[in-house]
Chain A
Amino acid sequence: MSEPLKTTPLTEWHRSHGARMVPFAGFDMPVQYKGGIQEEVRIVRNECGLFDLCHMGRLVLRGPEREKAADHVLSQNVARVPLGAIRYSLICTPAGTVVDDVLVYHGEDEVHVVINASGRETDPKWFREHTAGMDVEIDDVSDRQTMLALQGPQSAEILQTICDIDLATIKYYRFGQGTLLGDLPALISRTGYTGEDGFELFFDLGQAERVWIALEQAGAKPIGLGARDVCRTEAGMPLYGHEINLEITPLEACLDFGIDLDKPFIGCEALRKLKADGLPRTQVGLAVEGKRVPRDGCSVLQDGTEVGFVTSGTFSPTLGRPIAMALVRPDLAREGLDLEVDVRGKPVQVKVDGLPFYSRKRKKKGPSGGKN
Chain B
Amino acid sequence: MARPDDVRYTKTHEWVKLEGDNLTLGITDFAVEHLGDIVFVDLPDTGTDLEKGETALEIESVKAVAEVYAPVTGTVEAVNEAIADEAASLSEDCFGAGWLIRMKVSDAAGYDELMDLAAYEKHLETAEPE
Q: Which residues of A contact B (CB under 8 A)?
A: 20, 22, 31-32, 36-38, 226, 229-230, 291-293, 295, 314-315, 317, 344, 346
Contact = CB atoms under 8 A, between A and B. Distances in A.
Given A36-B36, A38-B37, A229 B63 contact: yes
A292 B63 contact: no
Nearest to A39: B37
B36 A37 contact: yes
23 contacts: A22-B130, A32-B36, A36-B36, A36-B37, A37-B36, A37-B61, A38-B37, A226-B36, A229-B63, A291-B39, A291-B40, A292-B40, A292-B42, A292-B60, A293-B60, A293-B65, A295-B65, A314-B62, A315-B39, A315-B40, A315-B60, A315-B62, A344-B58
B96 interface: no
A241 to B, nearest CB: 15
Interface string B39-63: 1101000000000000000101111
Contacts of B39: 291, 293, 315
Given A292-B42, A293-B40, A230 B60 contact: no
A295 B40 CA distance: 14
B129 interface: yes
A71 B47 CA distance: 64
A226 B39 CA distance: 15
Given A37-B61, A317-B62, 13 more contacts: A20-B36, A36-B36, A37-B36, A37-B62, A226-B62, A229-B63, A230-B63, A291-B39, A291-B40, A291-B42, A315-B60, A315-B61, A344-B58
Contacts of B61: 37, 315
Nearest to B64: A295
A37 B61 CA distance: 9
B42 A314 contact: no
A22, A226, A317, A346: most-surrounded residue (chain B CB, <10 A): A226
Contacts, number: 45
Contacts of B62: 37-38, 226, 230, 314-315, 317
A32 B42 CA distance: 24
A323 to B, nearest CB: 11
B124 to A, nearest CB: 15
Contacts of B63: 31, 37, 226, 229-230, 314
A32 B39 CA distance: 16
- Sorted nearest first, the 7 A-B pairs with minimum C-beta distance are A291-B40, A315-B39, A38-B37, A37-B62, A36-B37, A315-B62, A37-B37
A27 to B, nearest CB: 14
A20 B60 CA distance: 18
B60 A291 contact: yes
Interface in B53-86: 58, 60-63, 65
Contacts of B37: 36-38, 315, 317
B30 to A, nearest CB: 13
A295 B129 CA distance: 21
Interface string B14-49: 000000000000000000000011011010000000
A315 B129 CA distance: 22
B34 to A, nearest CB: 8
Nearest to A295: B65
A344 B37 CA distance: 20
B29 to A, nearest CB: 15
A37 to B, nearest CB: 5
Contacts of A226: 36, 62-63
